[in-house]
Copies of this chain bind each other. A is one copy, B any other.
Amino acid sequence: MLAVLMAPRGLAIPDVHEQLFQAAERLLLREDAADLSGRAVTREAGLAVGLLHNHFGDFDSFLSAFVLDRLRRAAASFGDLPSRAGTGTVAGNLTDAAQSLLGPDTLVLSRLVASRPSVLARSIHAHTAAAHPRSLLETAVFSYLQREQQLGRVEDDADIEATAVALVATVHQLLLMPRSDEQAASDVLLRVTAVLVSGIAGRSR
Question: Interface of A with B (CB < 8 Å)?
Answer: 31-34, 36, 110-111, 113-120, 131-134, 158-159, 161-163, 165-166, 168-170, 172-174, 176-177, 179-180, 188, 191-192, 194-200
- Oligomer copy total: 4
- Closest CB of chain B to A115's CB: distance in Å? 4
* Residue from the list B32, B114, B131, B198 in contact with A111, Cβ < 8 A: B114
Question: A198 to chain B: which residues have CB within 8 Å?
Answer: 199-200
Q: Flag if A195 contacts B169 (CB, 8 Å).
A: no
Seed contacts A32-B116, A33-B34, A159-B195; 6 additional CB < 8 Å A-B pairs: A113-B177, A166-B192, A166-B195, A169-B169, A169-B170, A197-B199
Q: Flag if B170 contacts A114 (CB, 8 Å).
A: no
User: Which one of A110, A179, A198 has the greatest number of beta carbons of chain B within 10 Å?
Assistant: A198
Question: A173 to chain B: which residues have CB within 8 Å?
Answer: 134, 165, 168-170, 172-173
* Residue from the list B111, B169, B174 in contact with A115, Cβ < 8 A: B111
- Closest CB of chain B to A21's CB: distance in Å? 18
The answer to whether A195 and B196 touch (CB under 8 A), given A33-B116, A166-B170, is yes
Measured in the bound complex, the distance between the Cα atoms of B192 and A161 in whole Å is 9
Closest to A172 in B: B173
Q: Flag if B177 contacts A165 (CB, 8 Å).
A: no
Question: A134 to chain B: which residues have CB within 8 Å?
Answer: 173, 177
Q: Flag if B32 contacts A176 (CB, 8 Å).
A: no
- Closest CB of chain B to A187's CB: distance in Å? 9
- Closest CB of chain B to A41's CB: distance in Å? 14
Measured in the bound complex, the distance between the Cα atoms of B67 and A104 in whole Å is 26
User: Which one of A32, A133, A134, A188 has the greatest number of beta carbons of chain B within 10 Å?
Assistant: A32
Measured in the bound complex, the distance between the Cα atoms of B173 and A174 in whole Å is 10
- Report 11 cross-chain contacts, Cβ distance below 8 Å, ordered by A residue: A114-B176, A115-B115, A131-B180, A132-B180, A161-B188, A162-B194, A165-B191, A169-B173, A173-B173, A176-B176, A199-B200
